[in-house]
């Protein structure tokens, strides 16, 4: 793996404190090689498909599955990986997950239909979410998918459905709300969980209980270990009631690394309000350059003590339990780039510029959550374009709409030269929510196109449409 972002050096007359530290993206080697040796391909693709353009690289998902599975195998843990389809609208990535032999975590009937179309079997589809529609429930039950039950009320709905549909039987997990998540609207606290266990034990003809589920906010493994410790007593209770839990699903939240840890730490330590066009340092960031990646996180979780004398892995083996995980972002690490064409560069004051791109901040997401995507974009000069102007310059990146806060970065970024209209900006590693969470057609600008890129055996690149249109 290596990076391709511009290296920042101070401009004449600037002090180090006026310039933020570089945040060069980590890139998949094949993608990096493509960007470095075939820039004309990007310009051709934007001519064909427009700006912004999301390019999905499905090969990355299989690599990430294999890496996580290796950790699970090393601990001799029986496991089930579900790709959290909500992380990206790409159907190509769903197909890649199915081809990699993992299940699909779906949160709507539309994602369910994508999973079935991609070839996922009912045994490998798990449905999460707190407010499933009746149509969604019917599709799940009739196809034998696994349903994570979020509440006592949802279990009642499933009971009613089974009563009105003779011969139906629903596979269920019960979603637990740990003590540390008392204010969350997701899952059930211990009393509700116990009520559901008793109800399921009374309805063996229509309820097939398979285990427990939780899905927590944040990216720490310790909170998951604590939730599992709390479930130990409930697992024992289920067995006393004659039920046979076989799975504990701990959801997602496995962190990935977008930039090198040292660069990220240096940035956080040195940033000030002068590094942002709105003079405001965000209150929180995703851990873009954290000290641990998804495999390290999983390793720490499995090695942590679950009950006295037994690690998580040892406890799961002792209880003959399957560990299920629902990675989203960590399975699409390095699986997409987003390319924006520059339309205009405008000078602001003495030192700084604003770079306008053909696209909007609705084609990204972090600034709308009062945060930032802490990865520098890669500047790709237009072939045969104007000669480079000046040395290093600083600029923030704005979209094409009439909104003053339509910015892809509040962060002021150092470029190796002044960007020009017609150049491209490539944002790396955008498959994890970043590229399509807020997409819309504001100003009647068409929805950004998405294409899937694959490498042939001869090393050529083939592309196909990956737009998710009903």
Sign of CA dihedral 433, 120, 96, 77: positive
Residues 181 and 234 in one domain: yes
402 prior amide bond cis, ω within 30? no
Whether 286 is covered by a domain: the verdict is no
Domain CATH for 72? 3.20.20.10
Angstrom CA distances, 228 to 152, 183, 292, 302, 319, stand at: 21, 19, 21, 11, 13
Residues 169 and 307 in one domain: yes
Residues 370 and 301 in one domain: no
Residues 89 and 177 in one domain: yes
Whether 262 is covered by a domain: the verdict is no
Residues 202 and 247 in one domain: yes
Residues 211 and 73 in one domain: yes
Count Cβ atoms below 10 Å from residue 116 Cβ, excluding itself.
19
Residues 128 and 228 in one domain: yes
Residues 149 and 243 in one domain: yes
Distance of CA 445 to the CA centre of its chain: 25
Whether 415 is covered by a domain: the verdict is yes
Residues 246 and 118 in one domain: yes
309, 331, 353 - which closes a domain: 331
**Size (the chain), residues:** 470
pLDDT tens per residue across all 470 residues of the chain: 333 333 333 333 333 336 778 999 999 999 999 999 999 999 999 999 999 999 999 999 999 999 999 999 999 999 999 999 999 999 999 999 999 999 999 999 999 999 999 999 988 999 998 889 999 999 999 999 999 999 999 999 999 999 999 999 999 999 999 999 989 999 999 999 999 999 999 999 999 999 999 999 999 999 999 999 999 999 999 999 999 999 999 999 999 999 999 999 999 999 999 999 999 999 999 999 999 999 999 999 999 999 999 999 999 999 999 999 999 999 999 999 999 999 999 998 766 899 999 987 667 778 778 899 999 999 999 988 777 777 889 999 998 877 777 899 999 999 999 999 999 999 999 999 988 876 766 666 777 899 999 988 877 899 999 986 54
Q: Among 84, 154, 10, which Cα is nearest to 324's?
A: 84
- CA-CA distance, 134 to 270, in Å (whole number)? 52
Residues 107 and 138 in one domain: yes
Domain count for the chain: 2
Query: 50 is in which domain, residue-wise?
Result: 2-57+334-465
Residues 188 and 299 in one domain: yes
Element (H, E) at 428: strand 424-428
Residues 85 and 96 in one domain: yes
Whether 170 is covered by a domain: the verdict is yes
Whether 269 is covered by a domain: the verdict is no
């Amino acid at each position: 793996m290596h990076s391709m972002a511009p290296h920042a050096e101070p401009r004449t007359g600037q002090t180090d404190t006026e310039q933020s530290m570089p945040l060069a993206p980590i890139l998949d080697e094949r993608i990096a090689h493509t960007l470095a040796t075939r820039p004309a391909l990007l310009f051709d693709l934007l001519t064909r498909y427009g700006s912004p353009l999301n390019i999905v690289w499905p090969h990355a998902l299989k690599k990430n599955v294999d890496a996580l599975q290796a950790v699970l195998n090393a601990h001799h843990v029986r496991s089930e990986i579900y790709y959290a389809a909500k992380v990206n609208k790409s159907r190509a990535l769903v197909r890649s997950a199915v081809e990699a032999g993992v299940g699909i975590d779906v949160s709507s009937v539309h994602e369910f239909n994508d999973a079935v179309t991609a070839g996922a079997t009912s045994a490998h589809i798990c449905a999460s979410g707190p407010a499933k529609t009746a149509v969604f429930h019917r599709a799940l039950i009739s196809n034998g998918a696994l349903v994570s039950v979020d509440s006592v009320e949802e279990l009642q709905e499933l009971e009613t459905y089974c009563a009105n549909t003779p011969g139906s039987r629903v596979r269920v997990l019960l979603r637990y709300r740990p003590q540390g998540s008392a204010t969350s609207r997701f899952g059930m606290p211990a009393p509700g969980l116990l009520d559901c266990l008793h109800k399921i034990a009374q309805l063996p003809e229509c309820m097939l209980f398979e285990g427990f589920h939780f899905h927590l906010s944040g990216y720490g493994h310790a909170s998951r270990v604590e939730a599992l410790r709390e479930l130990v007593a409930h697992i024992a209770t289920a067995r006393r009631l004659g039920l046979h839990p076989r799975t504990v699903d701990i959801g997602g939240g496995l962190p990935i690394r977008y930039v090198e840890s040292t660069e990220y730490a240096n940035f956080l330590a040195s940033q000030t309000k002068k590094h942002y066009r709105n003079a405001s340092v965000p209150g929180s960031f995703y851990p873009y350059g954290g000290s641990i990646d998804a495999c390290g996180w999983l390793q720490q979780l499995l090695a942590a003590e679950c009950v006295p004398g037994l690690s998580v892995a040892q406890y799961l083996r002792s209880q003959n339990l399957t560990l299920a995980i629902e990675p989203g972002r960590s399975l699409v690490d390095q699986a997409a780039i987003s390319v924006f064409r520059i339309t205009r560069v405008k000078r602001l004051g003495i030192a700084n510029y604003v770079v306008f791109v053909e696209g909007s901040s609705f084609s990204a997401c972090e600034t709308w959550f009062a945060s930032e995507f802490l990865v520098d974009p890669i500047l790709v000069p237009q072939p045969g374009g104007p000669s480079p102007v000046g040395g290093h310059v600083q600029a923030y990146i704005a979209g094409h709409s009439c909104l003053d806060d339509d910015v892809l970065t509040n962060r002021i970024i150092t470029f190796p030269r002044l960007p020009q209209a017609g150049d491209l900006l490539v944002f790396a590693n955008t498959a994890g929510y970043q590229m399509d969470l807020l997409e819309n057609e504001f100003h009647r600008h068409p929805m950004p196109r998405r294409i899937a890129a694959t490498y042939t055996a001869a090393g050529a690149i083939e592309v196909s449409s990956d737009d998710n249109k009903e």
